[in-house]
A and B are shown apart, each in its own frame.
Chain A
Amino acid sequence: MLAVLGIFFSGVNQRVEMSLPVVELRQERIAVSCVLQRPFSDDLLNIIDSGTPVELTFICRLRKADGTPASPPDTTVKHRVVKDLATGTYEITLGRRTLIASRFTEYSQIFRLETVPLWPVGAINPGMSCFVEVSAALEPIHIHATGQQYDLMALWNYRVPKNRSAAFTRAMLERRQVGP
């Protein structure tokens, strides 16, 4: 019985974690970088390789140091990967960018946010201490055979990986501005 259960649950990830978000200033906007650790499992790889589109949504929230929401609304960033079964290549969409990848290492970047500009820096008052909280969730997929949906978060044991950046102020961001 335990062996059977072991086989069943081998496809489930170990706990997926969100790395510490790094906040910088890019093009006068607050930009966030972070990456999901251990997002893959055999089942998720099989689903991607079946040609089923897999979407990941990052939800970014700007918060004051006491945890209350800052004035800019929450922002979502959608990443998507879909395999072309005829060519064996992967079409990757990272926000508004779309690119074609042929290798696993390339499409794994859908689990990463890399200095994505989100809010104008003017949204935070000078001297106000803030932090950014980022969470990620896999979108449900459509099962063609049954017409039903399958919640891919089951592969992450329904746990939403989440992390928050170190506290920062506008002045601190301006000191570590990065190029375009």
Chain B
Amino acid sequence: MSLRLRFILSAMMLVLAGVLPVGWYAMSAIDQSMRFWHDAQVGDALQQSLVNLDDPVVRKQVNEALIRYKQLGALQRPLERRTLLMGGLLTALILLLATVVSWALAVQLTRPLRSVANAAQKIARGDLTQRVPPSRIREIATLVNAFNDMVTGLRESHEALARAERRAAWQDIARAIAHEIKNPLTPMRLTTQRLRERFTDNRQRFEESFMRSTDMVLAEIDRLERLANAFSTFAKMPAPVLAPMDVRGVVSDMGELFAAEREQGRLELLLPEHPVPIMGDREQLKQALLNLVKNGLEAIGAEGGKVTVSLATARDEVLIEVRDTGPGIPHEMLKSLFRPYVSTKPGGSGIGLAVVDRVITDHQGRVVARNAAPYGAIFEVRLPLEKRLTKGS
């Protein structure tokens, strides 16, 4: 039973508790007074006098008195009934008024509580800008103030945490980039030194050595360039252009892009028969799914294993699941998997999953990774169905 209903019922009970005894007492009082005036002996005496009197004037007076007296007796019950009816109507009116007043009070009381509940729901969804308007009811005002203070504290903590996470992420990236740049520098330095030694000490095999050394230096330069390009692509990624689309098309495209793997049975697509509409940027979603499928295929390797891409709807969401039968994701990497430059593969740039996360987040969706039992990894992408996305935008 809601608080409002409890409040109204309490008010009605209080009114009834007050009105009914008073009404009952009033009815009893009326009844007693009417009985007091209706005495059979008086009536008989008046009747007797009327019959025996000769004086027409006195006779008329007694007749009127007798009518007056008898009328009281005859009207006792109708008048009591009328009083009861009026009392009932009055009680109903008071009850109605009590209901209206208690309803207004209940609304005044529960509105701030609803605001707190609504704000709490929005906060749970990540909106920490919520504030509940102040209430004039002291106890509720205390609750609202405490709630608003809590939200402020939560927001500050959240911002501090985000700052710390960003700093940590940048530190990770800076460390990884430094490591990645240093890696080719050592062989390049050694090669250049060896080349110089050959040039001064042993001119006989210099040409052969020169070609081999410059090949190696060029290969390292290529690798550094690929790395720089990957970061550049991630940084320049545009905002998605949302349009109504059927997600099945994006998943089907994977079949065409990885036709050979599909023929070999290394890739399986599971699609529903009905359309799955969303508001999305087809090219960006295709890129994100391509990265996930490619990662999965790389995880299972050339021999055996399988990647399964399934598409389904659940409530207001679209669920795309990319499951592989590879070795899975190291536990310590699960939390930071979608950060730029975090990769489980040797020599990987760590940009692919960061792109996936960015695309899906831009589509108001979310992506999570987990290990499957007994082996393998699952990437779960959730996107809002078209209706919800339209409301949100």
Contacts and interface: CB of A to CB of B under 8 A. Distances in A.
B80 A8 contact: yes
Contacts of B68: 144-145
A52 interface: yes
A144 B80 CA distance: 17
A175 to B, nearest CB: 47
A96 B285 CA distance: 100
Nearest to A12: B81
A98 interface: no
B73 A46 contact: yes
A8 B76 CA distance: 10
B70 A49 contact: yes
Given A85-B47, A85-B66, A86-B59, A51 B71 contact: yes
Given A8-B81, A12-B81, A144 B71 contact: yes
- The residue among B66, B74, B82 with the most chain A CB atoms within 10 A of its own CB is B74
B59 A43 contact: no
B72 to A, nearest CB: 6
B50 interface: yes
A93 B47 CA distance: 25
Nearest to A43: B78
Interface string A137-153: 00000011100001000
A52 B72 contact: no
B78 A155 contact: yes
Contact of B70 (A5, A8, A50): A50
A47 interface: yes
A9 interface: yes
A145 B71 contact: yes
Interface in B77-107: 77-82, 84
Contacts of B66: 51, 85
A49 B70 CA distance: 8
Contacts of A161: none
Contacts of A50: 67, 70-71, 73-74
Contacts of B73: 46, 50
A143 B74 contact: no
Interface in A43-85: 43, 46-47, 49-52, 85
Nearest to A155: B78
B50 A85 contact: yes
A11 interface: yes
B78 A150 contact: yes
| Interface bin, chain B | 20 to 34
B25 to A, nearest CB: 14
Contacts of A43: 74, 77-78
Nearest to A148: B79
B75 A143 contact: yes
B81 A9 contact: yes
Nearest to B50: A86
B51 interface: yes
B30 to A, nearest CB: 12
A47 B81 contact: no
A11 B81 contact: yes
Given A8-B84, A51-B63, A85 B79 contact: no
A49 B63 contact: no
Nearest to B71: A50
Nearest to B66: A85
A144 B66 CA distance: 11
B74 A52 contact: yes
A29 B98 CA distance: 59
Interface string A9-29: 101100000000000000000
Contacts of B84: 5, 8
Contacts of A86: 50-51, 59, 63
A139 to B, nearest CB: 15
Nearest to B77: A11
A33 to B, nearest CB: 31
Given A47-B71, A52-B74, 5 more contacts: A5-B84, A43-B78, A85-B47, A86-B51, A86-B63
Q: When A and B form their complex, which 3 residue pairs have the shortest distance between CB atoms, in order from nearest?
A: A50-B70, A46-B74, A51-B67
17 contacts: A8-B81, A9-B81, A43-B74, A47-B75, A50-B71, A50-B73, A50-B74, A51-B70, A85-B50, A86-B59, A143-B71, A143-B75, A144-B71, A145-B72, A150-B75, A154-B81, A154-B82
